[in-house]
Structure 1
Amino acid sequence: MTEETRAREDIARFAKSIFDRGLTGGSSGNISMRLSDGTVLVTPTGSSMGNLDPARISHLDERWTLLSGDAPTKEIPLHSAFYETRSRTGAVVHLHSSHSVALSVLPDTNPDNVLPPLTAYSIMRLGKVKLLPYFMPGDPAMGDAVRGLAGKRSAVLLANHGPVVAGKDLDAAVYAMEELEETAKLALLTRGMNPVMLSGAQIGSLVRKYDVEWVD
């Protein structure tokens, strides 16, 4: 099995798992994955994550020109911005997951770090998650906003839209996305209950031990 064939099947497998668990619905959400030759596989526009045909996944060259497969997601500017600004990026996942979107529209959500420090794993896998303003879906300005972060964040939350996570590979990106959604759910469940957060010292220990990007 070639690298490309395996990657196509991995994308379809993860996408179905995401869809089946209700983390994104309808034809929403998209995934991209960089191959060793620098080309990128991307889920097609208008496709359901629950029913992807691996053979029809879009294959783009290093200039994001379509080589084969169906037309790619309109969120290409969002994906390309992470690959351009974070050299270690091997995959990007963007969902419309409910709890994350809910957190993005609440007025007291911290725009510099949307997730309260409730668990160690959200810090280890995500660092600080930046809240970006609302953009119309497919607007190239979304990519510009990500580029404006200069590669300092591996995850962002688009207001009234959904989260985007970059990882070193597809597994890492999906697992970090799942952690983001679960932490957003915990944040909403405990809202107004005065939960005990991790202390500054505990966060600092995690940042140092796991080499977490914890920047302003």
Structure 2
Amino acid sequence: MKSEKYIRTAKTGYIIISALMCILGIVFTAVPDLSANLIGRLFGVLIVLFGVIKLIGYFSKDLYRLAFQHDLALGLLLIVLGGIMLIDTNNVLNIICIVVGIYILLDSLLKIQIAIDSKRFGLSKWWLIMTAAIVTGIVGLMLIIRPDEGVRFATVLLGISLIFEGILNLVTALTAVKIMRSSQSSDDIIDIEINE
């Protein structure tokens, strides 16, 4: 019963954080003239929250154990990176672009593995995870090797990256996380002793 609560919390958290990533990405894309400090603070808070959700997901016990299998390391990494972004506001946009690009590229590669594992499990929507992971990985790579064309370009590219990362996490949470409801209460379980 307790693990069902953790899984539900993690899945709901993934969906909410994914939606927030998409919204923040739309804001960065639509209003690229935001200050770098504001971008750093918003992004830092979002990343710390996502790190916490990833840790909750890792310690939950979803049915397939696909979506959360790498989330201990990634959750801790996100908390540390988010903390750095909240503390160090000098050159924050360059730090954000490189760090987020590397994280998105790594996450998309891990999601490709999840897609392959989902196919082995017989999940029919595995190809959604694969497609979203490949596209998101390309966008993450573009964020890492972006030409130095100024703050506006970096902010727009960061926004696009957030939108794709949000979509990737949303697709993964909706297709690869299954909550197994317990049909029996602990009072219904009967212990039997066998004497030989």
Q: For the superposition of Structure 1 and Structure 2, which TM-score range results when normalised by the shorter chain? A: 0.3 to 0.5
Q: Which has the higher contact order (CA 8 A, sep 6+)?
A: 2
Q: Which has the larger helix fraction?
A: 2
Superposition TM-score, scaled by structure 1 size: 0.32
Larger Rg: 2
Name the one with the larger strand percent: 1
Q: TM (normalized to structure 2)?
A: 0.34
